[in-house]
Structure 1
Amino acid sequence: MANWKLKEIVVMSVLSVVFAVVYLAFLPVGKLLVGFFGPIGYDLIFGIWFIVSIIAAYIIRKPGAAFLSETIAATVEVLLGSAVGPMLIISGMIQGVGAEAAFAATRWKNYTTKVLVLAGMGSAVTSFIWNFYLSGYAALSTGYVTAMFGVRLVSGALLAGILGKMISDGLAKTGVLSGFALGKEVRSQNNEAQQIS
């Protein structure tokens, strides 16, 4: 983080705290879905727990943004009293690594929708491997586990990748991100659109 600006650290920290609260709020939703659909219920919305890594990376565009934001969010969740306890921090780190890998593959230079979707799916992969051992998925049938994995991949793509992009673009359009690459991109697109019209 040596080459990070103070505003980037502040934005990442604020996002992490906000989404730590969002993550906690979604736990009862996940439990409700599990009650209806069984273990796969969590996978339907699992992508929501990766979203801060996508948003932070898309806005800040620096190595480590995805990993650090997810790790900080998990730490804040623990501090706010998550029943999972400190093990949640490891889960956050593992999810962050999955997203970070997608950005690292482009050398942190490509933040297109495709890469954001792949980052969400990357978190789905790493988190699923972790949960497979931690939550005893091996006791379930191969077909069911395969379905869980597929649903989590889609959830990561849509709820983290696509929704994360939409939220970030929405923030950028308000002007609050004018000092960031994303804000400048949106402003440039708006100027081009005005010139065409």
Structure 2
Amino acid sequence: MKEYANASKGKITFKAFTTLDIVLMAMLAAANAVMTVYLSPLNMALNGLGGPIATSTVTGLYMIYGLLACYIIRKPGTAVITYGIGAVVQAFMGSAYGIASCFVAAACYMVVAEAIFAFFRYRKWSFPVMLLAGGALVPIWFFFAARMFGYMKWGTDILLIALAVRILSGMVLCGLLSKLIGDALARSGLLRRYAVKRGVEG
């Protein structure tokens, strides 16, 4: 595939996406849409048990598909495409949180993910980097969600605790889990044609 940018040291290298890349991104986005359907009743149950703080514990699962795609493919633009597809699929399937939330959340996730990995030139995929990325996906969307879903009524203390729990959930259930799943799949031989395989072997 043709490269579109300077590949010298310290520069971000842009590569065209392969058919396999697109298929993987679409599959992860579709899987996320299905998973979201089942997460909705879980969220309701958690809300009944522990309110907004309890529901915040599963936040990372809503974001994992895009970060996992980034970890496996390791090309600029992966988060934009994967989260974009995810928003469209969720909108068509229907969302308990409304169509607008699908696209606003996706926009927040894709911008932050691309910024984090661009900072590291799409070359560093260690546990600390993935934990940072998973946690960083949370705050901007939380800001918009607080206004879209009436979180402001919770009060400042509850908001701050919920934000902290969501960031921790993002780090563990999104960042950490993405790396663990990606590495496991790479070692299994299922991702032989993806960049993650070279990273694991290296």
TM-score by length of 2: 0.86
Matched, 1:121 2:135: yes
What is the correspondence of 1:1-197 to structure 2 with a 5 Å cutoff? Answer: 3-87=16-100, 88-186=102-200, 188=201
Change (3 A) 1:135 1:81: closer
How far apart in 2 are the matches of 1:114 and 1:40? 25
List gaps (5 residues or longer) in structure 1: 190-197
Partner of 2:4: none
How far apart in 1 are the matches of 2:32 and 2:152? 31
Letter in 2 for 1:103: F
- 1:98-144 deviations in whole A, cap 9, x for unaligned? 22221122122211111111111111112111112212222222111
Which stretch has the larger CA shift, 78-87 or 27-36? 78-87
CA contact (8 A) 1:120 1:157 kept: yes
TM-score by length of 1: 0.88
Q: CA deviation at 1:97?
A: 2.1
Q: CA deviation at 1:29?
A: 0.8
Which stretch has the larger CA shift, 33-42 or 75-84? 75-84
* CA RMSD after TM alignment: 1.7
How far apart in 2 are the matches of 1:2 and 1:185? 17
Change (3 A) 1:106 1:2: closer
How far apart in 2 are the matches of 1:164 and 1:21? 18
Partner of 2:6: none
Q: CA deviation at 1:2?
A: 7.0
How far apart in 2 are the matches of 1:84 and 1:145? 19
Residue correspondences, number: 188
How far apart in 1 are the matches of 2:143 and 2:154? 14
How far apart in 2 are the matches of 1:168 and 1:92? 21
Which stretch has the larger CA shift, 99-108 or 171-180? 99-108
Higher helix share: 1
How far apart in 2 are the matches of 1:129 and 1:185? 35
How far apart in 2 are the matches of 1:31 and 1:75? 24
How far apart in 2 are the matches of 1:184 and 1:108? 14
The alignment-based identity, stated in percent, is 32
- Give every structure 1 segment of 4 or more consecutive aligned residues whose post-TM-superposition deviation is greater than 3 Å: none
CA contact (8 A) 1:47 1:156 kept: yes
List gaps (5 residues or longer) in structure 2: 1-13
Letter in 1 for 2:64: I
Change (3 A) 1:108 1:158: same
How far apart in 1 are the matches of 2:34 and 2:151? 27
- 1:138-192 deviations in whole A, cap 9, x for unaligned? 2222111110010001000000001111111121122110111111233x25xxx
How far apart in 2 are the matches of 1:35 and 1:109? 43
